[in-house]
Amino acid sequence: MSRAQNHEFQEWWNKQRQTNHDLLLSSDESSQLLTVDIHSPRPDRTVGKDRSRSARQLSWVCRLKFQQIAASLASVANSFLVLLRTANRRVTSPDSPADSASSRLYRAIKVFLIVVLLLLCFELVAYFKGWHFSPPSVRSGELAELVYANWLHVRVNYLAPPLQSFTNVCIVLFLIQSVDRVVLVLGCFWIKFRRVKPKAVMEYKTTSLPSLSNVEEGNAEKVNLEDYPMVLLQIPMCNEREVYHQSIAAVCIQDWPNERMLVQVLDDSDDIEVQQLIKAEVNKWQQRGVPILYRHRLIRTGYKAGNLKSAMSCDYVKNYEFVAIFDSDFQPEPEFLKKTIPYFKGNDDLGLVQTRWSFVNKDENLLTRLQNINLSFHFEVEQQVNGVFINFFGFNGTAGVWRIKALEDCGGWLERTTVEDMDVAVRAHLCGWKFIYLNDVKCVCELPESYGAYKKQQHRWHSGPMQLFRMCFFDILRSKVSVTKKANLIFLFFLLRKLILPFYSFTLFCIILPLTMFLPEAQLPAWVVCYVPGIMSVLNILPAPRSFPFIVPYLLFENTMSVTKFNAMISGLFQFGSSYEWIVTKKLGRSSETDLIAFERGSVPLVPTTGLHRSASESGLEELTKLETAKKSGKKRRNRLYRKELVIAFVLLTASARSLLSAQGIHFYFLLFQGITFLVVGLDLIGEQVS
């Protein structure tokens, strides 16, 4: 028996086809091959035939959607399986290196994990016996009920109150730091709105580098050398095999008269082959007419500070007025000096001009993207606001120009901490010197691409300030600067941003939050766990708007890094052995080979070409070949296992399981995803994969 036609449905369907007609015409070609043209029906078509074609079209569209969903799910599942296989291989492989297990913090966290596991087992037993819903009395006859009843008594009266008090203290610190962050962002908005920028009393004319024909014919532009002060350019390095040539090349092509500059390559390398490569690079530029010297210390004391101090002790330094410093992976643009030196003219109390960093590999992997968010906020907001409003900020150690008189006035480079740049900046500020930050002058550099290199860098950056704070606290109090500047240095610069920030980040989210799951009488509000950190993450990411898709990974990764920063802060504050450890941040020099080849092919010599110069140019490519050979024959690197991060991952995952028993939704999700993030970082699945 034939089925009766549904004319109401048919009428509705025809209207829908007419409405979606334009949308279907704009479909891609592949979809058109698999679909049926569904133009408005002709008057002579039967309703049944039209309905049949419409149903066929609908089935094809649904099938394509299902195929797309299935392909996406298959891709996600495949990535997840690859991740699991990689993690399993690293855990089970006996050759997988791991960090030290002798750390005090690691032993404390391991004990904490054992405690929470025992508490979870205890709470599971109580849950299945129904004691969560009807707690037993202390007068109960059974031993298990008596133990649980006494545990509840101890928990309510002796454990929860001090935990709640400690939680409240951390919440207050968290809110103070959040207010500081909001004030900085508002200051940055004010600077942008009012277009506040440092102003120079003069400008140098930007000129292109002299060409070979101009040099030979004597047509090079004449300049008044008296307008160009004497500038010393220093490149400190240590075993920088991958990047030494790109920094030397970038500094040597500065658009500045050769008679008014001198380049010092300060090589602390203990690798003989690297020393020879750097010497050959220096000789090549000397033959091109660039005033450049190679210095090597036989005794490497004081690390970078000792290297710079030794270079500044040379007799010829007294002939120079300014010194520009560039780390080995930094590549200043040719007009760097012409854009920074003019700010010193007419500002006799100006000691430092700091420029912004930009990163050649910020999109290399997830780790570099997250670092770019942090450093963009540091330069765009922190450095710029402090430079505009108080003329003081921490020197970043590179991509800056110092007035040599300011360095001499504050005592020069000292070897007492691992943050010699912050040390000299604080002492210069106490002596009355002012700083300027230029946000529109950028210097290209490289971010560490492996988690191991990044972790070592962050340890040094957070232990050094605590060392310095111990040493200069009384110097700050005795200095002649105003009370406002003293308060800014002690409470904002050191305590709030260098001590309180890593302290509450670690204790609040890695210790207190898991404990409140086992001691539910102590409450950690949801707005502390989720809402305020989310708002702060949005503010942090504003200077790097392209990174908004990574806002959740950024929030979770920052909490993960709090372990390293807290450990470094404690070691620096109490002068543990690791606080004096200086490890050069590993660079890969991804752009260095391309830059060298491009420079060899496209550049012209600064002096007339000779046979010796040509041989030096050819030797540069030979050095590049040697470099590639050395890279391939070098020691094989492997991804590591990080014990502290792995133990905290299991602590947080255990606490998330306990939160299910109390039906704490937002706490469960935060603990779950934060625990997974710790697990991913502990297995070294973020950053460069070299295993």
Point out the residues that are catalytic. Answer: 268, 421
Report yes or no: 233 and 203 within 8 Å, Cβ to Cβ: no
Phi, psi (5° rounding) for residue 348?
-70, -20
CA distances from 9 to 4, 16, 351, 566 (A): 12, 11, 81, 67
Is the Cβ–Cβ distance between 242 and 592 less than 8 Å?
yes
Q: Rounded to whole angstroms, how far apart are CA atoms 51 and 58?
A: 11
Please report, for residues 280, 284, 331, 606, the alpha-carbon distance to residue 293 in angstroms, rounded to integers and kept in the order given.
Answer: 12, 11, 18, 17
Q: How many residues appear in the chain?
A: 691
Complete DSSP assignment for 429-443 = HHTT-EEEEEEEEEE
Contacts of 145 (CB under 8 A, 6+ apart): 131, 136, 137
d(CA 420, CA 542): 30
Q: List, as own/partner pairs, every contact residues 95-99 make where C-beta atoms lie below 8 angstroms and the sequence separation is at least 24, other chains included.
A: 95/638, 96/638, 96/639, 96/640, 96/641, 96/691, 97/638, 97/640, 97/641, 98/640, 98/641, 98/642, 98/643, 99/640, 99/641, 99/642, 99/643, 99/644
Cα–Cα distance measured from residue 271 to residue 279, given in angstroms and rounded to the nearest whole number: 12
Handedness of CA 279, 280, 281, 285 (dihedral sign): positive
- Residue 663 CB neighbour total at 10 angstroms: 8
Measure the CA–CA gap between 324 and 421, rounded to whole angstroms.
13
> What tokens were used for 207?
């000129």
- State which H helix or E strand residue 401 sits in: strand 400-403
Residue 608 and residue 217 in contact, taking contact as beta carbons nearer than 8 Å? no
> Under 8 Å CB-to-CB from 608, ≥6 apart: which residues?
212, 215, 216
Cα separation, 398 vs 485, in Å, equals 24
Q: How far apart are CA 618 and CA 260, in angstroms?
A: 29
Q: Which two tokens stand for residue 502?
A: 């890593």
Q: Which residues, 6+ apart, have CB-to-CB distance to 169 below 8 Å? A: none
Q: Report which of 379, 386, 378, 425 is spatially closest to residue 403, judged by C-alpha positions.
A: 425
- Helices 160-194/532-541 angle, 10° precision: 30
∠ CA 64-70-76 to the nearest 5 degrees? 140
Nearest to 515 by CA among 101, 109, 104, 102: 109
CA distance 307 to 421: 13
Q: What's the rounded Cα separation, in Å, for the pair 381 and 397?
A: 18
DSSP-assigned letters across all residues of 112-126: HHHHHHHHHHHHHHH
β-sheet bridge partners, residue 641: 98
Distance of CA 56 to the CA centre of its chain: 53
CA angle at residue 118 from 116 to 121, to 5 degrees? 110
Q: CA-CA distance, 618 to 621, in Å (whole number)?
A: 5
